[in-house]
A and B are shown apart, each in its own frame.
Chain A
Amino acid sequence: MAQVSVRKVVKAYDGDVQAVRGIDLEIADHEFVVLVGPSGCGKSTTLRMIAGLEEISAGEIWIGGDIVNDMPPRDRDIAMVFQNYALYPHMSVFDNMAFGLKLRKLPKLDIKTRVDEAARILDIVPLLERKPKALSGGQRQRVAMGRAIVRNPKVFLFDEPLSNLDAKLRVQMRTEIKKVHQTVRTTTVYVTHDQVEAMTLADRVVVMNHGRIEQVGPPQELYHHPKTRFVAGFIGSPAMNFFSARVVGPSGAPAVQLADGQVLPIPPARQDRYAAQRDREVVFGLRPEHLTEPREQGRSSIAPLRITVDVVEPMGMETLVHFFLGGEAVCARVDPQTPAAPNAPLTLAADMNHMHLIEPSSGNVL
């Protein structure tokens, strides 16, 4: 168990292509940190640098008080779970899990105890004698996790471990991973491109983009208080809606004017915060879940928004309504009872307490 420090770390290929552009990250002991971002954002590269599978071009990585820049992977005392499982195809499940321990010359009895314990935690005891090719994807991933657990390493690294599983199994394994972490409490760095995985698993989420860290924080904080337009759009599903808008109105009653001319009043609680934006072009952000069927019209934070429905997607517990506003595609989550039909007019309720204003040039949330 250990804390991990990533300090001003850069990964450059062939001198000028930078996959990671100087990131700082402090990961506490026992913490579960998820690196999330789109393809090519540098999250896997960062993980592989922590593992020692990639060299660090600049900066420092510390694991448990030791600088590990020049330490070979085998001395770092870390265990990694790969996207493709990376099991040894010619070894049984038991041998796959025991391999690292055998190399460390642990007594046979010790190895057996540890492997059995891990197999019990992961519910793979009946599979111990099988070869990887006789296992399903989910079972293989459990074995890969078992191999990491038996080592009792300082840090667990997960590189998109659920990407090769089908949707249902992914949800199930996600829960398993969380449960395993609650049991063994090993410091964990987990890489995924799936923001739902990031939100559900992490103590803290690190959102990366273009080789930089956009924001670090607990899942709820990222959801409610994104710092940049990228984070606002990346976290949450369906993604946050963005509208070109302008802040208008007298100082006592400012409002957001959308591209089609509709005006949504800014609630009193937010008026001071957005005072400086008067008469300026902004990006107005509102999540689909805060754009709902009309209700509580009397509350001051609810603003009506008149639209013409384009597509209706019934999801069961809710219905997604897609429409265009000022040329931009927008999504709203409404009650299934709402009478929404294609090409028909509909008045939605925008919950302005959850609005975001974003500076168009910098992408920073105001």
Chain B
Amino acid sequence: MGTTLSAGTRAVAKPARRRNYARQYWPFIVPAGVVVFAVILFPWLFTLFMSVHDWHIGGDRTFIGLHNYGRMLADERFGWAVLRTLYFTALSVVLPMVLGVAAAVVFHRNFPGRGLARTLFIMPMMATPVAIALVWTMMFHPQLGVLNYLLTSMGLPPSAWVYESGTVIPTLVMVETWQWTPLVMLIVLGGLASLPTDPYEAAVLDGANLWQIFRHVTLPLVWPFIMVAAVIRGIDALKAFDTIFVISNGGPGTASETLNILLYLQAFSFYDMGYASAIVVVFFILILLVTMLLLHFRQRDALS
């Protein structure tokens, strides 16, 4: 009887004590709350605030409603920047994905010197973007660059690389691919390592050749990892700035002016903070849409 009674009181007392604790815990989340507000929430709200104002740095601030957004619709330069951003993003997602998956399949096999080769392969990822951008800039130089030297020494015509509007974006994609293929490779390699081995043996006995095993077993099984890599790569490519800024600075002319470059120019060259903020808001929505699209594919595959 005594034990049941004490058990009963304990059961009653417990939730009360928990509630008390909950009341005492709140100071612990204050630091995190302050940080989130200061570096995420406040800049966001301030950007929204700026985007509905005509505000040049050093000048007066006037409320103009959605005028900045309307201006974007009429701004041909903005439209091209959107298209260029999508073009750049599509290329710099697809190329690292294809090469990264291929590299992952290669590195998943055991061969002599695999560890060393893998380390060398992921080195571009570890380099500072601005530093490597400067190195690439030197290599792209039409007369002095090593790339044209290589092309001409093989009997091929030299390329203008980033100095011609037709080749500038593919060339920038090349740098992006060089730097970020290793990331895709690492993610997919991790996926491959986690796959069960026995479906492969079953496939071998079922009569599949290497390509059929890759196509019908490896690819479907590793697909969720590929999609994760695609989401990360997609977001990264959309917001690519440093390499473009350093190598071509949006040029020649506006041939490589992506949204990031455009809004940088608006904000820090033309000091038009209001318009730049409005571009940021639209850009954010664009990133959100692309990400949601990729996540939707991933979700759908996971469910089916």
Contact = CB atoms under 8 A, between A and B. Distances in A.
Interface of A: 51-53, 72-75, 78-80, 82, 84-91, 99-100, 103-104, 147, 151
Nearest to B207: A74
Contacts of B206: 74, 99-100, 103, 147, 151
Contacts of B221: 89-90
The DSSP consensus for interface residues of chain B is: helix
13 contacts: A53-B204, A72-B204, A74-B207, A80-B202, A87-B202, A88-B202, A89-B196, A90-B223, A91-B220, A103-B208, A103-B212, A104-B207, A151-B206
Contacts of B204: 52-53, 72-74
Nearest to A82: B198
Interface in B211-237: 212, 216-217, 220-221, 223
A80 B207 CA distance: 12
B199 interface: yes
B33 to A, nearest CB: 41
Contacts of B198: 82, 84-86
B71 to A, nearest CB: 49
B199 A100 contact: no
B202 A89 contact: no
A114 to B, nearest CB: 14
B94 to A, nearest CB: 23
A53 B198 CA distance: 11
Contact of A51 (B203, B205, B207, B220): B205
A86 B202 contact: yes
A140 to B, nearest CB: 12
A328 to B, nearest CB: 42
A354 to B, nearest CB: 43
B209 interface: yes
Given A99-B216, A103-B212, A89 B199 contact: yes
Nearest to A80: B205
B75 interface: no
A249 to B, nearest CB: 59
A85 B202 CA distance: 9
Nearest to A100: B206
Contacts of A90: 220-221, 223
Nearest to A104: B207
Contacts of A79: 205
B207 A86 contact: no
Interface string B167-203: 0000000000000000000000000000010110111
Contacts of B207: 74-75, 100, 103-104
Q: How large is the interface on B (under 10, 10 to 19, 20 to 34, 35 or more residues)?
A: 10 to 19
Contacts of A147: 202, 206
Nearest to A53: B201
A52 B206 CA distance: 12
A333 B139 CA distance: 87
B173 to A, nearest CB: 31
A161 to B, nearest CB: 12
Contact of B202 (A72, A82, A104): A82
Given A74-B206, A80-B202, 11 more contacts: A51-B201, A51-B205, A74-B207, A74-B208, A79-B205, A86-B199, A87-B199, A89-B221, A100-B206, A103-B206, A103-B208
A78 B207 CA distance: 10
A196 B216 CA distance: 38
B202 to A, nearest CB: 4
Nearest to A77: B207
Contacts of B223: 90
B215 to A, nearest CB: 11
Contact of A78 (B203, B205, B212, B220): B205
A103 B202 CA distance: 13
A51 B202 CA distance: 10
A86 B201 CA distance: 8
Contacts of A72: 204
A82 B201 contact: yes
A88 B201 contact: no
Nearest to A131: B304
Contacts of A82: 198, 201-202
Contacts of A85: 198
Contacts of A88: 199, 202-203, 216-217, 220
A100 B216 CA distance: 11
A85 B197 CA distance: 11
A94 to B, nearest CB: 14
A86 B217 CA distance: 11
B219 to A, nearest CB: 9
Contacts of B208: 74, 99, 103
Contacts of B205: 51-53, 73-74, 78-80, 100
Contacts of A78: 205
A52 B207 CA distance: 12
B245 to A, nearest CB: 42
Nearest to A81: B202
A102 to B, nearest CB: 9
A360 to B, nearest CB: 43
A82 B203 CA distance: 12
A67 B283 CA distance: 66
Interface string B239-256: 000000000000000000
A91 B201 CA distance: 16
Contacts of A74: 204-209
A211 to B, nearest CB: 22
Which of B198, B204, B207, B221 has the most A CB atoms < 10 Å from its CB? B207
Given A74-B207, A103-B208, A80 B199 contact: no
A45 B158 CA distance: 59
The 7 closest A-B pairs by CB, nearest first: A86-B198, A100-B206, A74-B207, A90-B220, A86-B202, A103-B207, A73-B204
